[in-house]
Structure 1
Amino acid sequence: MEKMEEIYNNNKLGIDAKLDSIHKDLKRLMERSNQEYLDLMLVNLKKEFLNSINSYISDDVETGLEMGMVEDCKMKDTCKSRFTNYLLNNEELILGNNIPSHIIDDKRAELAQIRKEAPFEVCDNCFSMVNSLFDKQLGLVSSIKTYSTDNEKRTEIAEISDEDIVKTVLEPLSNKQRLQILKSMASETRTFSSLSELTGLRGGNLLFHLQKLLENDLIIQRHDRGDYMITKKGFNLLLVLVDVNKLLENE
């Protein structure tokens, strides 16, 4: 009886091991199949995306030239054809991963050279419009690069706490006077009266905004009826806004 039980247990272990091996093989197969499917989807999505971009560029060039060029100029058809070639030849440039600055300089120089060959003063209007279309294409380059941001950064973005950021950062700083108050404390403490003079707010109105900043630990009051001063959190947020301001200036 014990011998039979031992044989049974050994057989069971063998079967379990075999099933485990089959399970692992199936899992690897499914993972490989899923990855191949995902890769195929990404390839198809990229093709659709590039086709959409190409279509957008062509339509934008056609519409922009038709609406922006001088209507009654005898050179319109000739110039439109040349402008179209100039702008549509930028598709490869736009869809490329990296664009050296000298390539952009060369494209601008090419347009400037075409302008030198143009005979009329009114041509400035058309060339200005073409230059705007080119700038718009460069903006498209920046947007495409944005969508190519590395996965680590995308993960960090996804982990942003909507509720906390809105409640403790965006809402407290969404008011001009509150931002003025915080900025004014970056280098010195402030009294209630000096803040009132700075913001033009009086009594309860100023107190309301100060309370918003106090509640979110962006400022502190040294003691009852004492001076207000910025916290480390408040100062760090101002440093973030410095970077944001630089981004806006460089657009």
Structure 2
Amino acid sequence: MKDSARKKEKLPESPAAPEDPEMAEIKAIREKLCDMHSDIKKVMEYSNRLRFETALECSRKEYSNAILSHLYEDIETGLEKNMVKKCPEKENCRSAFSALLQRNAGLIKQGRVDEDLVSGNREKLQEMRCRAPYNKCEQCFSEVSTLFTKQVNLMRSMRIYADNQGQKPDILALEPGILMREILEPVSNPQRLEILRAVAFETKSFSAFSEITGLRGGNLLFHLQKLMDSGLIMQQHERGDYMITEKGFKILQSLNELYSSLQCSPLQIPAGKKTGEKEEIRI
């Protein structure tokens, strides 16, 4: 009995039945269709975002051109109406004032107005004022200053320009706790930042994030949950792909703008150079 039991234990397992060729072909077709559907969805998402950004840029240009046309008309009307009527230097001054004001107004066509450019134009106006030959020149400079201030206030209202003083109330109103919890802490981790960047223009699956970050299972889920709890990404449905939210995209866009502005900053210290070291000037 023992020998027969041992023989039964050693009997080889029966080989698995070969897969039906038709079923295998159907399975392969399904996989191909899934891949095609995924590719089409990515292309549509990317093209929709490009279309939206192009339309937004066109609207911004049309809006800026309309405002610029109004400012140019305001310059000519204001100078004609309020400058001293009888003055031997009127035409020369008017030409110089108009050129400075038009140059300053033209800054609104930029997405963001550099404070140094506005300050430079303000200093040029002050230099012209110091060289004024007559007491009655104050009337003309008062009008130019008024037009200049209107332009700067318009830039502020369009939120394309803010000097340090103008930003003071906003900066003092920042809540450190909320700022850390809602913005800084969620993106302070390199893997979470990689995840956020990966879904900027297309959806991603859990396995795709795993390949991107090198994280597996619970570790990856922890970071995904952190981003979802902070409202930076969302899952389309249970076990579905992940996508970026409006809040997440704005934060990522702001980080990109901040990084770009720091790269262009004249105060930036090159990598590997200590503070206080003189940089070699090359011609």
The alignment's TM-score, normalised by the length of structure 1, stands at: 0.48
Which structure has more relative contact order (CA 8 Å, sep 6+)? It is 2
**Is the helix fraction higher in 1 or 2?**
1
The alignment's TM-score, normalised by the length of structure 2, stands at: 0.43
